[in-house]
Amino acid sequence: MDRIDCPYVVRFLGVSWTKPSDMMLLTELMAGGDLRQVLESNQSTNHNHQFTWHDKVQCALHIAEGLVFLHSMDPKVIHRDLKSRNVLLDADFNAKITDFGIARETDDATMTAGIGTYRWIAPEVLLDGHYSESADIFSLGVILTELSTELIPYSDLRNDKGNVYTDTAIMAKVMAGELIPTFGA
């Protein structure tokens, strides 16, 4: 992490611990909170939106720039768990990617293992198949739908009986290529 120096990736400062099992990473302060918190707050402001479309576009561009940087490294860094909770904002809504707990450097063409948060994760990762940096791009697309709707992905979908889809049903449909998140009107 110390070799990642990008304005769109949260800066790693060091580590702290009182005993080895309590080790914590120290990063720069991002006072605006995570993107999911900001979107939820924006919904509850009674149409007095503080997080404007200009801010949302800027956020999307910052995330994309962060991914370009990570994917351009040698070896490439694939985040593998990109979601709105892993995008932090400063007080001016500048966005940075964080949480590299399951990120992986790759110097070969084979990335496998179903790791990440399922509502944001690409079908090929859920299927435990071959994947590449395109899995992060899929997750970015899901975040773009969140920026549009301000909703958690798939939370607005209902089955034939009008019920909310279960987590298992959502995963199965995403894996089968039958479900993709939708943009707002």
Catalytic residue positions, numbered? 81
Distance CA 167, CA 151 (A): 15
Q: Are 128 and 70 in contact (CB under 8 A)?
A: no
Q: Are 10 and 96 in contact (CB under 8 A)?
A: yes
Mind giving me the DSSP string for the chain? -TT---TTBPPEEEEE-SSGGG-EEEE---TTEEHHHHHHHHHTTTT--SS-HHHHHHHHHHHHHHHHHHHHSSSEEE-S---GGGEEE-TT--EEE---TT-EEESSS-B----S-GGGS-HHHHTT--B-THHHHHHHHHHHHHHHH-S-TTTT-B-TTSPBPPHHHHHHHHHTT--------
Coil, strand or helix at 88: strand
